[in-house]
Amino acid sequence: MDNIPTAHFLILAAALLAIGMALVLVKKNAIMVLMGIELMLNAANINLVAFSRQDAHQLQGQLMAMFVLVVAAAEASIALAMVIKVFYHFKTLDLDELSELKG
């Protein structure tokens, strides 16, 4: 892994960020939006690990990435529970329909 340039990691992270952002902006399904958010968090993790590789004696980047993974897992479980509850109540996951059903 030492022979892979940091630029390749940054390109991968930028691609994941763009795909995640596209999912959040384009999709109307709540689960797909959550998947887009998770992709963006993973892009941030790749950046953290890629930059921490530059200083081999420090582990702050890897530790921060592990912290982000734990927070993302907690966020995903809570968000999925909320999506399931909304689905049982409204019988839809379309975010546009949910905004119309406020009243």
pLDDT at 21 over 90: yes
At 63, which amino acid appears?
L
Q: What is the pLDDT of residue 10?
A: 95
Which residues does residue 29 pair with via DSSP β-bridges, in sequence order? 94
Q: What is the pLDDT of residue 100?
A: 63
User: What tokens were used for 99?
Assistant: 């905004």
Fold of the CATH domain 6-100: Helix Hairpins (1.10.287)
In contact, 44 and 61? CB cutoff 8 Å: no
Domain extents for the chain?
6-100
Give residue-wise pLDDT tens across range 63-100: 888 888 898 888 889 988 988 988 888 888 887 777 66
